[in-house]
A and B are shown apart, each in its own frame.
Chain A
Amino acid sequence: MVQYIIAGLVLGGIYAISSSGLVVTYESSGILNFAFGSIAFFIARLYYFLNIQHNMGITVSAVLSLVVAAPALGILLYFALFRFLRLSSSLVKVVATLGLSVALPAVATTLFGNISILVAPGLAPQPVHVFMVAGVPITMDQVIVYISVILTVVVGGLVLRFTEVGLRVRAMVDSPAMTSLSGTNPVRVSVGVWAVSTFFAGLAGILAAPIIGLDSQHFTLLVAAAFAAVVAARLRSIPIAVMVSFAMGIATSLIQYYLPSSSVWTSRMITAVPFLFIAIFLVYNLILRRDLSDSTKVGSALDAAIEPHGQGVLESSEAAVLDASMGFIARYSGPIVVAIIAMVLPFLMSGVWLTLLVQAYALGIVFLAITLVTGEGGMIWLCQITFAGIGGLWTAQLATDYHWPVLLAVLAGGLIALPVGLLVGFLTIRLGGLYVALITLTFALLMESLYFTQGRFSNGGLGVNVLRPSFATSDRAFAYVCLFVFILVALFVVNLRRSTTGMALDAVRSSEPGARTLGISVVQMKIVVAGLAALLAGIGGGMLVVAQTAAQPVNYSTFLGVVWLAVVVSIGIRSSIAALVAGITFLVFPQLVTTYLPTAWSQIPVILFGLGAIGVAKFPQGTVEQNGEKFRRILLKQAKKRSDKKELALTSPQGEAT
């Protein structure tokens, strides 16, 4: 028992380092770093690469990875990414850091080799020395964790609270511009914060590797736990984050003590621990009816004036002026062209490409749901894949085990996802954007490990087979069914966007106080959008399962959902066309790489998807909007030239006469 508590304290200590690292960076930069886990993995993988693959000593490897590489990575990321994010919207911040979290593990695999690592050593020399304290064995690894926790959490907290450096960091939170006016270089402070933050991440990663295994998937659990602590700390309080971290570590350990280690429920319960903590916190807040805003308004008026919202806003307003002056054809030329291409493609393709195209069209429907909830509703939901999973898995159940007509089963799958969406919407409705992102992420992890792992869905790892409707069994025929459903859903979403509902959603998204004093109920609008998006994602998931002719629970991992969001946002979160393009990109592009490029490049698509999302930091509208605008601008210029010529021809004789 005591031994389990000691192990729990070790796990809790690693959570504590992670969560306090997250809180410090959030406090000082306004960015909640969703890539923390990936950075931790990257540095831990580098340590393994140096220590084991290249036989460098523990000290040399540790110094190289922690003291050299980790801060260097932090500084690099600051200059390449984080400095652009300060005054961005929550969505852009979340997506850009998520993009990083997608790309980094793939980069690590590409750089350090794709090998399966069974046991990862920690910082203690092998074989690990075991101390006996009052009859209880404590390993050297555990001692190192304790020392690290005390050093980072206690010393870090004291530095931040009581020293000159801490004062400067805290001043940065309020306004870098004002800080620079008072004689402190804000860039130097930011660089310092990010360097320290990646050091924290690296340390947590190296310490965690022997316990949770050196696998990027396992690191998501570490991050989920750290996020739970951060949520409970209301994003700001380091002491609370640390206490909750230890509580979670001990809870996890006690579950291992009380439940039999062979039971599937043990591993499921362990993954559920972070979510249980979040659930307690949410219910507590619901009871107290406290509003939780993340008040991401970092920076003073001066900062906003020096660094206006950037090109994005100006360009989008220019685009709106442009749109207003354009005719129907010019305005809808993009969607029409893409629709025609989408209709022709199934005829041009065959074999594996056609199979992928069918799935791409079905995936496009799920992506439409993402554009609805995040693009229109402004809610950063990271669990859309969960709704697709519910829809898809239940479609297979109903169609195959209960013999329903398959398209009816698809609809029913969507209807089963609907109340789940409403529930998540209801639980998160009063929370700020970052909380919503964090909670939906942990919810997705919970569903992935607790619900999707049921025997009825996995069917012994085989999944449940689904037959396509008898009138469209071939890939080509079913591609058109998917495209038809996509167009139906897209028309619905486009209509919604343009309707009074869409205007009210815009109101809710851009200013809640403004919307409320106008008489619009923010809660109603958000819940309805949440429900609709869950329904559509469920239907999309169902269509995807029918396209794949099998329902596999492993296809709905939370991590994949994050990649989905990254792809959609980088292509265009407020465009239906972008949803289709994103679907095709997501499925066809990796196949292109595996077919035509050497296997060493296999991680390239994932890296590019991640980089695309990072690019959102600079181009928040996404590529489709960007290029669509350019395209329309050219059309408009042409039209203008033509009309100018006409005018010239009409007016010039008069000009000569006078």
Chain B
Amino acid sequence: MSADDQVLVGRSITKRFGGLVALNDVSIEVPKRSIVGLVGPNGAGKSTLFGCLSGLTRPEGGSVMLNGRDVTRTKPQKRARLGMARTFQQPELFTGLTVREHIVLAHRVRFERRRLWSDMVGPRSIMKPPASETEAVDAIIELLEIERLASMPVTALPLGSTRLVEVARALACAPDVLLLDEPLSGLDVNESEALARALVKVVTEAERDLSLLLVEHDVATVLAISKKIYVLDFGQLIASGTPDEIRSSDIVRAAYLGDDAVSETAAD
């Protein structure tokens, strides 16, 4: 696969916290219009890798390419404008806004950036929003099936719903690549199936040109929807490949369950 086919590439990323090596020479590629999974036990460095890719954490070594452009030293807000969005493991929502306002704000920052400043002096805040905005926002609400939450303030939502809001807000930025940090944790079985379906749908939809990089503990779901999977352990990339390759990898089993447990799990 040539570099042009990759929307996001991390090369040899290294990050240390004091003496602890959180990431050691990790490389990762996200092809266009695909779902890529990133799995690993707790403390493997998944969230740190997300931080480095989205720019909130500065790595000591390595580079990040977004749509073929080197963004290693680019600020997170600039990366967002270049087509990267992310969600957080601990939801980072805006406490004073309703669910719908989250999506509206993200949409405007992406498509009508001027309004961040021009609205301050004009009366536009009391006028009806443009039809294109309403359409785009409604489409996202419909896609994630959160119609009944739309007018609620986010402080009133349970954890599962806040994850949906994070995904909705990220989608409203119309990113080329969306980094999802454990979007399924805190969701019940039905909710998590619905979200997984929606994620597959946004990637396969014709009008969007979106890739997902998914960090998740629910390995079964990741294996089910991802095209390619990377496995991290203690800051090292220990395996990568298609879901089938990962399923049959002894190294992965050893990392998750310990060497002794590998033979036992075969019986499960």
Residues of A in contact with B (beta carbons under 8 Å apart): 313-314, 316-318, 320-321, 324, 492, 495-496, 498-504, 506-507, 509-511, 513-522, 525, 528
Closest to A313 in B: B155
Whether B86 pairs with A316 at a CB distance below 8 angstroms is no
Closest to B112 in A: A500
Closest to A504 in B: B116
Q: A503 — which chain B residues lie within 8 A by C-beta?
A: 94, 97, 101, 104-105
Whether A518 pairs with B153 at a CB distance below 8 angstroms is no
Expressed in whole angstroms, the minimum distance between the Cβ of A657 and any Cβ of chain B is: 34
Most chain B beta carbons < 10 A, residue from A318, A492, A499, A506:
A499
Closest to B81 in A: A519
Q: When the two chains form the complex, which single residue of B75, B110, B153 contacts A320, counting CB atoms closer than 8 Å?
A: B153
Q: List 28 A-B contacts (CB under 8 A).
A: A314-B155, A314-B156, A320-B153, A320-B156, A324-B151, A492-B121, A495-B125, A499-B124, A500-B105, A501-B116, A502-B125, A503-B104, A509-B96, A510-B93, A510-B96, A511-B93, A513-B88, A514-B93, A515-B94, A516-B56, A517-B77, A517-B79, A518-B77, A518-B80, A518-B105, A518-B173, A519-B77, A525-B116
Q: A509 — which chain B residues lie within 8 A by C-beta?
A: 94, 96
Q: B55 — which chain A residues lie within 8 A by C-beta?
A: 516
Q: A522 — which chain B residues lie within 8 A by C-beta?
A: 77
Interface residues of B in 46-97 (CB under 8 A from A): 54-56, 75-81, 84-86, 88, 92-97
Q: A511 — which chain B residues lie within 8 A by C-beta?
A: 92-94
Whether A316 pairs with B155 at a CB distance below 8 angstroms is yes
Chain A CB within 8 A of B117 CB: yes
Main secondary structure, interface of A, reads helix
Interface residues of B in 194-241 (CB under 8 A from A): none
10 nearest CB pairs, A to B: A514-B92, A519-B80, A499-B119, A511-B92, A499-B125, A317-B156, A320-B153, A506-B96, A317-B155, A500-B119
The CA of A521 and the CA of B106, in the complex, are separated in Å by 13
Whether A518 pairs with B169 at a CB distance below 8 angstroms is yes
Whether B120 pairs with A504 at a CB distance below 8 angstroms is no
Most chain B beta carbons < 10 A, residue from A316, A324, A495:
A495
Expressed in whole angstroms, the minimum distance between the Cβ of B59 and any Cβ of chain A is: 16
Q: Mark B171-211, 1 if CB is under 8 A from A, else 0.
A: 00100000000000000000000000000000000000000
Expressed in whole angstroms, the minimum distance between the Cβ of A429 and any Cβ of chain B is: 14
Whether B88 pairs with A514 at a CB distance below 8 angstroms is yes
Chain A CB within 8 A of B123 CB: yes
Residues of B in contact with A (beta carbons under 8 Å apart): 54-56, 75-81, 84-86, 88, 92-98, 101, 104-106, 108-110, 112-113, 115-117, 119-126, 151-153, 155-156, 169, 173
Closest to B166 in A: A514
Whether A506 pairs with B151 at a CB distance below 8 angstroms is no
Given contacts A506-B97, A516-B76, 17 further A-B contacts (CB under 8 A): A313-B155, A316-B155, A492-B121, A499-B119, A499-B120, A499-B124, A502-B125, A506-B94, A506-B95, A510-B96, A514-B94, A515-B94, A516-B77, A518-B105, A518-B106, A519-B77, A520-B116
Whether B155 pairs with A520 at a CB distance below 8 angstroms is no
Whether A500 pairs with B125 at a CB distance below 8 angstroms is yes
The CA of A147 and the CA of B120, in the complex, are separated in Å by 59
Q: B152 — which chain A residues lie within 8 A by C-beta?
A: 317, 320-321
Expressed in whole angstroms, the minimum distance between the Cβ of A339 and any Cβ of chain B is: 18
The CA of A498 and the CA of B129, in the complex, are separated in Å by 13
Known contacts A324-B151, A513-B88: A498-B56 contact under CB 8 Å: no
Whether B80 pairs with A517 at a CB distance below 8 angstroms is yes
The CA of A133 and the CA of B104, in the complex, are separated in Å by 74
Expressed in whole angstroms, the minimum distance between the Cβ of A369 and any Cβ of chain B is: 15
Most chain A beta carbons < 10 A, residue from B56, B96, B117, B121:
B96
Known contacts A321-B156, A498-B125, A500-B125: A519-B109 contact under CB 8 Å: yes
The CA of A522 and the CA of B75, in the complex, are separated in Å by 11
The CA of A522 and the CA of B80, in the complex, are separated in Å by 13
The CA of A516 and the CA of B121, in the complex, are separated in Å by 24
The CA of A500 and the CA of B114, in the complex, are separated in Å by 10
Known contacts A321-B153, A510-B94: A495-B104 contact under CB 8 Å: no
Whether A519 pairs with B119 at a CB distance below 8 angstroms is no
Known contacts A321-B152, A510-B94: A500-B77 contact under CB 8 Å: no
Known contacts A316-B155, A504-B116: A519-B173 contact under CB 8 Å: yes
Known contacts A507-B97, A518-B169: A513-B92 contact under CB 8 Å: yes
Q: B122 — which chain A residues lie within 8 A by C-beta?
A: 499
Q: B126 — which chain A residues lie within 8 A by C-beta?
A: 495, 498
Whether A317 pairs with B153 at a CB distance below 8 angstroms is yes
Expressed in whole angstroms, the minimum distance between the Cβ of A211 and any Cβ of chain B is: 43
Q: B97 — which chain A residues lie within 8 A by C-beta?
A: 503, 506-507
Q: When the two chains form the complex, which single residue of A318, A504, A506, A528 contacts B109, counting CB atoms closer than 8 Å?
A: A504
Whether B98 pairs with A320 at a CB distance below 8 angstroms is yes
Closest to A324 in B: B151
The CA of A507 and the CA of B125, in the complex, are separated in Å by 17
Expressed in whole angstroms, the minimum distance between the Cβ of B160 and any Cβ of chain A is: 16
Closest to B96 in A: A506
Closest to B87 in A: A517
Q: When the two chains form the complex, which single residue of B79, B105, B169 contacts A504, counting CB atoms closer than 8 Å?
A: B105
Q: B106 — which chain A residues lie within 8 A by C-beta?
A: 518
Closest to A498 in B: B125
The CA of A324 and the CA of B151, in the complex, are separated in Å by 7
Q: A525 — which chain B residues lie within 8 A by C-beta?
A: 116
The CA of A503 and the CA of B55, in the complex, are separated in Å by 23
Whether A517 pairs with B101 at a CB distance below 8 angstroms is no
Q: A320 — which chain B residues lie within 8 A by C-beta?
A: 98, 152-153, 156
The CA of A520 and the CA of B110, in the complex, are separated in Å by 9
Most chain A beta carbons < 10 A, residue from B80, B85, B88, B109:
B109
Q: B169 — which chain A residues lie within 8 A by C-beta?
A: 518
Q: B80 — which chain A residues lie within 8 A by C-beta?
A: 516-519
Whether A501 pairs with B96 at a CB distance below 8 angstroms is no
Q: When the two chains form the complex, which single residue of B56, B94, B112 contacts A517, counting CB atoms closer than 8 Å?
A: B56
The CA of A528 and the CA of B95, in the complex, are separated in Å by 21
The CA of A317 and the CA of B155, in the complex, are separated in Å by 6
Q: A324 — which chain B residues lie within 8 A by C-beta?
A: 98, 151
Whether B93 pairs with A501 at a CB distance below 8 angstroms is no
Q: B109 — which chain A residues lie within 8 A by C-beta?
A: 504, 518-520
Q: A314 — which chain B residues lie within 8 A by C-beta?
A: 155-156
Q: When the two chains form the complex, which single residue of A313, A501, A515, A516 contacts B120, counting CB atoms closer than 8 Å?
A: A501
Whether B105 pairs with A507 at a CB distance below 8 angstroms is yes
Whether A507 pairs with B94 at a CB distance below 8 angstroms is yes
Expressed in whole angstroms, the minimum distance between the Cβ of A284 and any Cβ of chain B is: 20
